[in-house]
């Protein structure tokens, strides 16, 4: 991509970075002309994922991009950490399952709020989650 | 970190959230409210989220925890002013708010608390 503003990397190392991710994703969602409900769904999903990166991944990076497909515009957000990884992804995507103190809605809930969801992880190799929400 | 101010109106405590909530703001609010309820003997808590543009599972869990804690002090909690987009998102996320009551606005929230106060003679 040649337009430098069509992509932003946000390091996630502390609480306030989760808020920063929400703000950047919101701005991109507005640029991609997502409706208010879709903006809210995407921002909420990325808030969950950023917190996972911080708490379970021990920190990492979020990469937010504008994406296009034909006439559709959308926002892609990728969360990468080099933490312990997820040994059982099926279990981790189950509602109510949690390895921490949460409600177990982070991953499974985030998946329901977006149009595309990709989870790439392996025990000991870190975790990358990529989500996309398209304008309608 | 910013402290969310807690106002007292009669025997109701009002916390109006006007900032982008960090997780630690949320935890601080939880603690501050528990302290103020036990200090004041308030019978109701209103969380005004008119200005809150997202509620994720952590923030939602805080509402449920505040409500459960309030019950231990014989107080009820009402969340008011939830935006429609937030409500739709919460349902899809799969989050239920436990003992938390919700009302459209502050006025209706206060009415619910008054009603709950009458039902349970104290």
Domains of chain B: residue spans and CATH = 6-119 (3.30.750.24)
Tell me, yes or no, whether A67 lies in a domain.
yes
How many structural domains does chain A have? 1
How high is the pLDDT of residue A100?
57
* Helix runs in B49-120, H state only: 57-72, 84-93, 106-119
Average pLDDT over residues A9-35: 96
Q: What is the pLDDT of residue B2?
A: 77
In this structure, is residue A92 part of a structural domain?
A: yes
Contact (CB<8Å) B57/A22: no
B22-74 pLDDT, tens digit each: 889 999 999 999 999 999 999 999 999 999 999 999 999 899 999 999 999 99
> Which pLDDT tens digit goes with each residue over A86-100?
877 877 777 766 665
Domain presence at residue A1: no
Per-residue pLDDT, averaged over B66-93, amounts to 94
Q: Which residue has the higher pLDDT, A22 or B2?
A: A22
Q: To the nearest whole percent, how much of chain A has pLDDT over 70?
A: 89
> Is A63 among the domain residues?
yes
- All residues of chain A having their beta carbon less than 8 Å from the beta carbon of residue B61 are 102-103
Q: What is the pLDDT of residue B121?
A: 52
pLDDT for A103: 54
Encode pLDDT of B91-113 as tens digits: 998 888 877 899 999 999 999 99
Q: In whole angstroms, what is the distance from residue B103 CA to residue B93 CA? A: 20
User: What span, in angstroms and rounded, lies between the C-alpha atoms of B44 and B72?
Assistant: 12
- Residues B100/B80, Cβ–Cβ less than 8 Å: no
How many C-beta neighbours within 10 Å does residue A96 have?
A: 9
Q: Is the pLDDT of residue B1 over 90?
A: no
With a CB cutoff of 8 Å and minimum separation 6, the contacts of B26 are B58, B59, B62
Contacts of A106 (CB under 8 A, 6+ apart): A48, A49, A51, A52, A98, B57
Q: What are phi and psi of B113, to 5 degrees?
A: -65, -40
pLDDT at residue A88, rounded to an integer: 79
Interface test with A, best of B19, B21, B53, B54 (most A CBs within 10 A): B54
Report chain A's mean pLDDT, rounded to a whole number.
Answer: 89
Note down the domain range covering A102: 7-134
ipTM field: 0.90
Longest dimension (CA), chain A: 42
CA distance A110 to B89: 10
Q: Is residue A120 part of a domain?
A: yes
A78 assigned to some structural domain: yes
Residues of A engaging B, defined by a Cβ cutoff of 8 Å: 15-16, 18-19, 22-23, 26, 36-37, 39-41, 43-44, 47-48, 51, 95, 102-103, 105-106, 108-109, 112-113
Residue A21: which CATH number? 3.30.565.10
Q: Is residue A2 part of a domain?
A: no
**What is the per-residue pLDDT for A67?**
96
pLDDT value, residue B99: 78
Decide if pLDDT at B120 tops 70: no
pLDDT of residue A1: 47
pLDDT of residue A101: 54
In a domain, A102, yes or no: yes
pLDDT, mean of residues A74-83: 96
Q: Which helix (H) or strand (E) holds A130?
A: strand A126-134
Q: Is any Cβ of chain A less than 8 angstroms from the Cβ of B50?
A: no
Task: Look at residue A27 in the predicted model and tell me its pLDDT.
Answer: 97
Q: Shortest CA distance to B101 belongs to which of B111, B92, B91?
A: B111
């Amino acid at each position: 991509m040649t337009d430098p503003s069509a992509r932003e990397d946000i390091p996630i190392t502390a609480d306030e970075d989760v808020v920063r991710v929400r703000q950047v994703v919101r701005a991109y969602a507005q640029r991609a002309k997502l409706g208010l409900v879709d903006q809210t769904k995407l921002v909420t999903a990325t808030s969950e994922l950023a917190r996972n990166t911080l708490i379970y991944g021990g920190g990492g990076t979020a990469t937010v991009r504008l994406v296009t497909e034909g006439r559709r515009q959308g926002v892609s957000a990728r969360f990468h950490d080099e933490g312990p990884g997820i040994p059982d992804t099926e279990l981790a995507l189950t509602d109510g399952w949690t390895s921490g103190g949460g409600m177990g809605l982070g991953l499974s809930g985030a998946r329901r709020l977006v149009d595309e969801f990709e989870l790439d992880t392996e025990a000991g190799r870190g975790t990358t989650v990529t989500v996309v929400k398209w304008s309608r | 970190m910013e402290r969310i101010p807690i106002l007292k109106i009669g025997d109701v405590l009002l916390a109006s959230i006007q900032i982008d909530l960090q997780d630690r703001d949320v935890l601080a609010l939880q603690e501050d409210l528990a302290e103020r309820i036990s200090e004041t003997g308030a019978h109701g808590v209103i969380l005004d989220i008119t200005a809150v543009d997202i509620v994720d599972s952590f923030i939602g869990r805080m509402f449920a925890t505040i409500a459960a804690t309030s019950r231990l002090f014989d107080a009820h909690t009402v969340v008011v002013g939830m935006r429609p987009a937030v409500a739709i998102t919460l349902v899809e996320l799969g989050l239920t708010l436990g003992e938390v009551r919700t009302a459209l606005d502050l006025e209706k929230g206060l009415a619910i608390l008054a009603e709950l106060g009458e039902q349970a003679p104290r």
